[in-house]
Chains A and B, each alone.
Chain A
Amino acid sequence: MTEQFEPTIIGFTCNWCSYRAADLAGTARMKYAPNVRLIRMMCSGRLDPTFVLRALSGGADGVMVTGCHPGECHYIEQNYKALRRFLLLQRVLVGMGIEPQRVKLVWASAAEGAKFAAETTAFVEEIRALGPLNWGKADDVPQTADDIQAAIEQGVDQKEAVS
Chain B
Amino acid sequence: MTERVGVYVCHCGSNIAGTVDVVDVANWAEEKLAHLGVVVAREYKFMCSSLGQELIEKDIKELGLTRVVVAACSPHLHEKTFRTAAKNAGLNPYLVELASIREQVSWVHTDKAVATAKAKAVISGAVSRVIRNEALDELKVPINPNTMVVGGGIAGIQSALEIANAGFHVYLVEREPSIGGHMAQFDKTFPTLDCSACILTPRMVEAGTHPNITLLTWSEVVNVAGYVGNFHVTVKKKARFVNEELCTGCGICEEKCPKKVIDDVFEAGLGYRKAVYTPFAQAVPKFPVMDKENCTYFQKGTCKACEKFCPTGAIDFTQEDQLLHIDVGNIILATGYDLFDARQVSNYGYGRLPNVFTSIEFERLSNAAGPTNGTIVMRDGKSTPKSVGIIHCVGSRDKNFNNYCSVICCMQGLKFAHLVHERTGATVYNFYIDMRTAYKAYDEFYQRVLEEGTLFVRGKVAEVTDAARYSNEKGKLIIQVEDTLAGKQRRIPVDMVILSAGLQPRYDAKDVGKLFGISCSTDGWFTEKHPKLDPVATMTEGIYIAGCAQGPKDIPSSVAQGAAASARVLDKILQKEVALEPVRASIDKDSCSGCRICNGLCPFNAISFIEDDHVSDINPALCQGCGTCVAACPAGAISGTGFSDEQIMAQIDGLLMKNLEPEIA
Q: Which residues of A contact B (CB under 8 A)?
A: 6-8, 10, 16, 19-20, 22-23, 25-27, 29-32, 34-35, 37-43, 45-51, 54-55, 58-60, 69, 71-78, 81, 85, 117
Chain B residues in 8 Å Cβ range of A42: 583, 625-627, 640, 643
- CA separation between A37 and B117, bound complex, in Å? 11
Are A10 and B627 within 8 A (Cβ)? no
Are A10 and B655 within 8 A (Cβ)? yes
Are B108 and A29 within 8 A (Cβ)? yes
Chain A residues in 8 Å Cβ range of B65: none
Closest-by-CB residue of A relative to B117 is: A34
Partner of B628, one of A30, A72, A81: A81
Are A59 and B628 within 8 A (Cβ)? no
Task: Report B216-264 residues with CB < 8 Å from chain A CB.
Answer: none
Are B665 and A8 within 8 A (Cβ)? yes
Are A26 and B103 within 8 A (Cβ)? yes
Are B74 and A34 within 8 A (Cβ)? no
Chain A residues in 8 Å Cβ range of B75: 40
Partner of B522, one of A7, A16, A32, A72: A72
20 A–B pairs (Cβ distance < 8 Å), ordered by A: A10-B652, A22-B103, A23-B74, A26-B102, A32-B108, A34-B105, A34-B118, A35-B665, A45-B631, A50-B645, A54-B653, A72-B522, A74-B519, A75-B628, A76-B513, A76-B603, A76-B604, A78-B626, A81-B628, A81-B632
Are B603 and A54 within 8 A (Cβ)? no
Are A27 and B107 within 8 A (Cβ)? yes
- CA separation between A31 and B103, bound complex, in Å? 11
- CA separation between A38 and B74, bound complex, in Å? 12
Are B519 and A76 within 8 A (Cβ)? yes
- CA separation between A42 and B111, bound complex, in Å? 31
Partner of B664, one of A26, A34, A48: A34
- CA separation between A7 and B583, bound complex, in Å? 33
* Contact indicator per residue, chain B 628-665, by CB within 8 Å of chain A (1) or not (0): 10111000000010010100110111011010000111
* Contact indicator per residue, chain B 518-550, by CB within 8 Å of chain A (1) or not (0): 011110000100000000000100000000000
Chain A residues in 8 Å Cβ range of B643: 41-42, 46
Chain A residues in 8 Å Cβ range of B513: 76
**Nearest CB of chain B from residue A24's CB, rounded to whole Å:** 8
Are B625 and A78 within 8 A (Cβ)? no
Knowing A48-B645, A72-B521, say if A78 contacts B76 (CB, 8 Å). no
Knowing A26-B103, A34-B665, say if A39 contacts B655 (CB, 8 Å). yes
**Nearest CB of chain B from residue A156's CB, rounded to whole Å:** 22
B127 at the interface (CB under 8 A from A): no
Are A26 and B627 within 8 A (Cβ)? no
B199 at the interface (CB under 8 A from A): no
